[in-house]
Amino acid sequence: MVAGNTDFALLLYKKLKDDSAGNVFFSPYSISTALAMVYAGAQEQTQTQMAETLNFTIVGEQLYPAFGALQKQIIEKDTQGYQIYLANALWLQEGVPFLQEFLDRTAYFDAGRYQVDFFHEAENTQRQINAWIEEKTKGKIKNLIPAGGVNRETALAISDALYFKGQWKTKFKWWKTRKSDFFVTVDHKIKIPLMHLKEKFNYCDQENLQALELPYKGDEMSMLVLLPKDVNGLEDIENMLTAEFLNTILSKMWKTKVSVYLPRFKMTWGTTSLKNALAALGMPDAFNPGKADFSGINGQDGLYISDVFHKAFVEVNEEGTEAAAGTFLAVTKSLSSELVFRADHPFLFLIRDNRSGSILFIGRLINPAE
């Protein structure tokens, strides 16, 4: 299942980066989890399209306990090194007869259930869900659902929140941080704070890129940074990005002393609608009122996904990394002697759970000042 989630993560990344000229950052794990919960009620062609798009390689009833088992593994944590919180919720319209089978499947996600009244109190309910997401992400994801994100026709809303805060296993010393040039392009450079550290890390040198793994305290989580050797070489790396490519990079890493230069940066990405991206990846029926089949939710026709909203936050500094993401969807009726890794130009980065191999967050830094 992790392999399927990884394939989906990288396909979605490629689609989202094509739609954005600048920085990108999101949590594919949060998105997969939210969509897996609504998939629990999908039927016929809608179910087939979603399974293919999300790369669900586990079919039938085994999918839901597998998601639950993965979630439990990820949130099992050594609090000395990092904090990670995962929270899911179903927001159920009062009076709608939800099928017990659907509720049983979503129970594997440890999802809270809230009875709400979208029909009479859509605006208040939207505020309630936004407040829930803000609380679960330690205040980092605010106002995820935009105005009109739910309305009186909403029958079910699903929210997923993911929060991570990790200390570097070896911290950068703040007094070694210097204002330095960052080349957004060959012809455009800006001054940004560039952190510096010399330590032994897992490292890989390929023809057109350097790869570095920065572990968080406890070694169960890490940041993988893929740095093109050419200032304008990020697109070439992105075009090569597949699960097989990542596995090859990881398999070729060796531990060696590296002089690391990494920007200190903070980024909020979103609120972004994923509707068009997901439809283009192969699940258009889920968003089509005339074709969607989510009769496994309430035993009736007429349900469809009106939109999927996502927002993510990341901060990287001398101490470590803080990252958070929220996903919401509404179901609606209707080299030299010293190895130097100098990330002073656009690069790709992933935050991974090393035990399962799950990609929790993925992004690219084009401009640290944005």
pLDDT at residue number 335: 45
Nearest residue to 88 via CA among 74, 71, 73: 71
CATH number of the domain encompassing residue 277: 3.30.497.10
In a domain, 79, yes or no: yes
- Same domain for 157 and 75: yes
For the chain, list the strands marked E by DSSP: 24-26, 82-93, 112-116, 154-167, 178-185, 188-205, 209-215, 221-228, 254-263, 265-273, 303-316, 320-333, 339-342, 347-353, 358-365
Encode pLDDT of 138-184 as tens digits.
999 999 998 888 888 898 888 988 999 999 999 999 999 999 999 99
In a domain, 356, yes or no: yes
- Same domain for 177 and 110: no
- Same domain for 173 and 118: no
In a domain, 160, yes or no: yes
Encode pLDDT of 90-118 as tens digits.
999 898 889 999 999 999 998 889 999 99
- Same domain for 285 and 257: no
- Return the structure tokens found at 40: 């629990």
- Same domain for 86 and 42: yes
In a domain, 25, yes or no: yes
Encode pLDDT of 35-52 as tens digits.
999 999 999 999 999 999
- Same domain for 65 and 121: yes
- Same domain for 69 and 109: yes
**338: pLDDT strictly greater than 90:** no
In a domain, 144, yes or no: yes
Residue with tokens 């586990």: 58
pTM of the model: 0.93
Identify residue 36 by its one-letter amino acid code.
A
- Same domain for 144 and 181: no
Residue 80: which pLDDT band, with cuts at 50, 70 and 90?
low
- Same domain for 206 and 287: no
In a domain, 370, yes or no: no
CATH number of the domain encompassing residue 243: 2.30.39.10
- DSSP annotation of 219 reads S
Give the count of domains, the chain.
2
Range of the domain at 346: 169-264+336-365
Average pLDDT score, the chain: 91
- Same domain for 288 and 155: yes
- Same domain for 155 and 19: yes
Residue 77: which pLDDT band, with cuts at 50, 70 and 90?
low
- Same domain for 11 and 112: yes
